[in-house]
Each structure stands twice: as structure tokens, then as C-alpha cells.
């Protein structure tokens, strides 16, 4: 229910925990008719035990409901801690905040494009706990209304990208590289499309953790020192998902270590571990570039954790040799801040009774107001 106590406030908090499982991203944002700005950003690292529990549930087909419910509450408390933590570092208090927009932590994503009879997307991080603990109205469960309307439920950030990064006379692509990569196609001020392209950092992170016990490939140095195995790359790119027309979305349900190991076993070759890492970096770069090749963009801007991967960035630049490729920082926003800010913006839209699902991206049957409101 909308009341003046919300509409008179311009500050929102966005919470995002992605497939990389490294941290809860928190953005304190201001939204007015004249201004979209990120006032403060923090990343609250996820405890190792919580990361293990999330990973177990994300991959297991045999889920203990009581353990999942407990993890839902644990994450709700951590999200609350993250939201209150960002307020402590500023001059604002909970009474200044209109709402919290929480994406939650995805446990399973099986959209329509996965050809399942009952499409769904499950995120946990109890919003009741967040609203009760913080004393701030919380908006969550953004994906399922879009799925109910026949959409993929993802990606949801293209509408935010359109609102903030479109330019009247330019065709721009915004590339978000998190655990998975998605693109937003902006033809002037018009949103021309948005979809997941495939793996981002997820396989790179998993492979280097397995073989070097490192959580990620810093700057892409390990991948950059290897050689692309063309046979493996061809096998990876032959996956049907890359050939599907959008709208489409994906996740660890398809692109995971089991998928990679199956591809390696079928090749029957002993490929050096570093060369596999190099090939995975090329897979991310190539799948992104293939996905946007027909759009003829003037400019490509990269955000998300992948923007810090020098090797990956260079591969994209090399493939898109005639196109300007830059970090989103050239447009005045930090690369790591965008997704959390997007969910703050989505909560702003929901609280004001405005649609925000961009059917051209998700395939939904029409515009929808997303999310459920949990009153403080």
C-alpha cells in the first residue's frame, strides 16, 4: 500500500547476493525525478559456513526443508545486518529510508526457457526478518510475478540500465559480468533487449578454486598465462543454450563443474589446467560478443566483478575490435555497485506503483509491478 510516508522519501537500500557467493552487496541510493545516485556502497562478506550451505542447496536434488528454512532465516538476518551497517557509516537512520529492495540469494532458477512444465525461481533471505529487524519496509520476491506472466523472471536489471545509461543518439550495450553474464541492448533511449549470455565468472572461479585453492583469478592472470584449447572451446560453445533465441536466462543448473567435466571427458585429452582456465575466459568473452554481434553497438560498457578481470576485458576488446569497450566507470558509476543499486531502484518502482519488468527482456506477456511489500 502506498502512502505519503513513502512517497516523501527518496532514499532506498538495495541488497544483492549473487551466484559468486562472495558477499552481500549493499547500495544506499537516492531516486528523484531529477537524480539517480549511489550515496554509499558496502560489501558484507558471506561467512564460509553460509557459503557452503548455499552451494549445497544450489546443487543438491535432495533438499532438507528444515535446513533450507533455517538458511532462509540466517540469510535474512545477514541481509538485515548489511542494511543497518550501511546506515551506520552515513548520517542517515532507518527513518530516512523509504524501503529496502532485496533480491535474495538464488537457490534454483528453472525458467520457461529451461523447458520445464512448471517454471520457477527460488530466492531465500527472509524479507519478513529483514523488515522486522531493520524496521524498514522491505520489498522482495521480484522474479516470480514476471514468471507468472510468462516471463523468464530474469534478467531484471535491463530496465534500470535503460533508465540510467541510455543515450538518445547512441546504441549502447551494458554487459554485467557476475557469476553469469547478461547484456542490455539500448537503441537510443529504447530498450531493445536484455538476456543472459552464459557463464561469467562462475566456471573461472570454480576451476581455479579446484586446482589452485584460490577463490578467483585475480586480474585473470592465470587465464592470461595459458593457451586457449580450440577443441575444448568449440565443444563448450556447441551447447544448445548459446544458439537459443532470446528471451532466455540461465544459471548453475546448466553451466556448472559437472557440465565442464563432462565436456572435458568427451574430448579425451589431457589439457593443461591453466589452458582450461584460459579457454573458460575465452568462452565468457566469445559468448558475450556473439550475443551482441548483430546489434552493431557504438559503445559497450562492462560492469560487475568481471570488469576487474583484465584478461577477460582484453579478450572482449580484441573480439569487438572496432567498437568502443569501456568500464561502466566511464559513465560515472562503480562497476561493482550496479546490481545492488538496481534492486534499490526496483523497490522504488514497486513502492510507487510503477512497472519494472521489461517484457522485451524477460518475455513476459506484459508490463508488471514486481515484488511483494513487507511493511515495517
**Residues 167-207: tens digit of each pLDDT:** 999 999 999 999 999 999 999 999 999 999 999 999 999 99
What would be the CATH architecture of the domain defined by 158-335? Answer: 2-Layer Sandwich (3.30)
**pLDDT tens across 205-241, in order?**
999 999 999 999 999 999 999 999 999 999 999 999 9
Alpha carbon distance 237, 15 (integer Å): 33
The residues that bridge with 140 in the sheet, in sequence order, are: 372
What does the radius of gyration of the chain's CA atoms come to, in whole angstroms? 20
By DSSP bridging, strand 11-17 and strand 97-110 are parallel
State residue 6's pLDDT score: 65
- pLDDT computed for residue 2 by the predictor: 46
- Say what the pTM is: 0.95
Quick one: 4-148+366-374 is in which CATH superfamily? ATPase, nucleotide binding domain (3.30.420.40)
Do residues 41 and 28 make contact, with C-beta atoms less than 8 angstroms apart?
Answer: yes
Mean of the per-residue pLDDT values of the chain: 95
Beta-bridge mates of residue 139: 101, 373
d(CA 72, CA 29): 26
pLDDT for the residue numbered 3: 47
Task: Identify the pLDDT of residue 19.
Answer: 85
Domain ranges of the chain: 4-148+366-374, 158-335
pLDDT < 50 stretches in the chain: 1-3
* 4-148+366-374 shares its CATH topology with 158-335: yes
Amino acid at each position: 500500500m502506498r502512502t505519503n510516508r513513502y512517497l516523501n522519501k527518496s532514499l532506498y537500500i538495495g541488497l544483492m547476493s549473487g551466484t559468486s557467493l562472495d558477499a552481500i552487496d549493499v547500495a544506499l541510493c537516492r531516486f528523484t525525478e531529477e537524480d539517480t545516485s549511489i550515496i554509499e556502497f558496502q560489501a558484507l562478506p558471506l561467512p564460509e559456513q553460509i557459503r557452503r550451505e548455499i552451494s549445497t542447496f544450489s546443487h543438491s536434488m535432495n533438499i532438507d526443508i528444515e535446513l533450507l528454512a533455517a538458511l532462509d532465516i540466517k540469510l535474512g538476518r545477514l541481509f538485515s545486518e548489511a542494511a543497518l551497517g550501511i546506515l551506520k557509516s552515513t548520517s542517515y537512520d532507518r527513518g530516512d529510508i523509504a524501503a529496502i529492495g532485496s533480491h535474495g540469494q538464488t537457490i534454483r532458477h528453472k525458467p520457461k526457457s529451461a523447458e520445464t512444465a512448471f517454471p520457477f525461481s527460488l530466492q531465500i533471505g527472509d524479507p519478513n526478518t529483514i523488515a522486522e529487524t531493520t524496521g524498514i519496509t522491505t520489498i522482495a520476491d521480484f522474479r516470480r510475478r514476471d514468471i507468472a506472466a510468462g516471463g523468464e523472471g530474469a534478467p531484471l536489471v535491463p530496465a534500470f540500465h535503460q533508465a540510467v545509461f541510455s543515450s538518445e543518439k547512441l546504441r549502447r550495450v551494458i554487459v554485467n559480468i557476475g557469476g553469469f553474464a547478461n547484456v542490455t541492448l539500448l537503441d537510443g533511449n529504447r530498450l531493445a533487449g536484455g538476456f543472459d549470455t552464459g557463464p561469467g565468472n562462475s566456471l573461472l572461479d570454480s576451476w581455479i578454486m579446484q586446482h589452485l585453492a584460490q577463490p578467483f583469478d585475480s586480474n585473470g592472470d592465470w587465464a592470461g598465462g595459458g593457451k586457449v584449447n580450440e577443441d575444448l572451446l568449440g565443444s563448450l560453445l556447441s551447447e544448445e543454450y548459446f544458439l537459443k533465441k532470446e528471451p532466455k536466462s540461465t544459471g548453475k543448473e546448466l553451466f556448472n563443474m559437472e557440465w565442464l567435466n563432462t565436456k572435458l571427458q568427451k574430448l579425451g585429452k589431457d589439457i593443461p589446467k591453466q589452458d582450461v582456465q584460459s579457454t573458460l575466459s575465452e568462452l565468457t568473452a566469445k559468448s558475450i560478443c556473439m550475443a551482441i554481434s548483430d546489434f552493431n553497438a557504438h559503445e559497450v560498457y562492462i560492469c560487475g566483478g568481471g570488469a576487474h578481470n583484465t584478461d577477460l576485458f582484453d579478450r572482449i576488446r580484441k573480439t569487438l575490435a572496432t567498437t568502443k569497450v569501456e568500464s561502466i566507470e566511464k559513465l560515472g558509476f562503480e562497476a561493482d555497485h550496479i546490481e545492488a543499486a538496481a534492486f534499490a531502484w526496483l523497490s522504488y518502482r514497486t513502492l510507487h506503483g510503477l512497472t519494472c519488468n521489461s517484457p522485451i527482456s524477460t518475455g513476459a506477456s506484459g508490463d508488471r509491478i514486481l515484488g511483494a511489500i513487507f511493511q515495517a
